[in-house]
Structure 1
Amino acid sequence: MAIIEDIYQLIESECGMNPNKLSPNSDIVDEFCVYGDDFEELMVAYSKQINVNLDTYLWYFHSREEADSPFAFIFPPPDQTVKRIVITPELLLKYANSKAWSINYPEHTLPKRRWDCNSPKK
């Protein structure tokens, strides 16, 4: 069974963050500016090191993209089309102990194509 210190240690090793500044309810994205590629690397390490199945994880509910698109005001990226769900150490601990990411995301629709970056939806 994981404990909160395991989550703090993971965040420290992946993000270089002082664990003394973390609390169970810290907003990892907004309080510590961990987003985009850095946030993705944290979640991949979380899945591998703590053995959490992230098959149902949807990044755009939790973090913004690494870089802003100059066309975002016309073609909003996925993270700007949904209400953000905050990721905290406490939430990471909850799913670490259940071994599966099981947030029930709200109904939403993404465009079939990203016109702002010329790539198909994954």
Structure 2
Amino acid sequence: MNNISLSLVVLRFTDLERAARFYESLGLKFIRHRHGGGPEHLSAELGGCVFEIYPQSPKEATTLGTRIGFRVPSLDAVIMALSDFPAAIVTPPQESPWGRRAVVSDPEGHRIELVQE
């Protein structure tokens, strides 16, 4: 069990394109996918983990309680890139036991912890 690693994270959104613009501001690069008869969604590769954003279906539970985190090369650059999302900053950049960190909220309300590498 020592070789366990995270391989997939899926979040659901009512506005997929707005979500994609938000996460692209963090530095993610998406490609469009569709598996069989499933919905078209967006997928980004992150160091061995796949991060996907799916459209929210009325039949499926929301992912709003999910909190995720990313290590970023420059926290200041990411915060500046989020200027199109002025309500996104929950906790501005500050020093923490884990390094320089901020908490932001995506357009759907998922909380994201950003830590500078």
TM-score by length of 2: 0.36
Higher strand share: 2
Higher helix share: 1
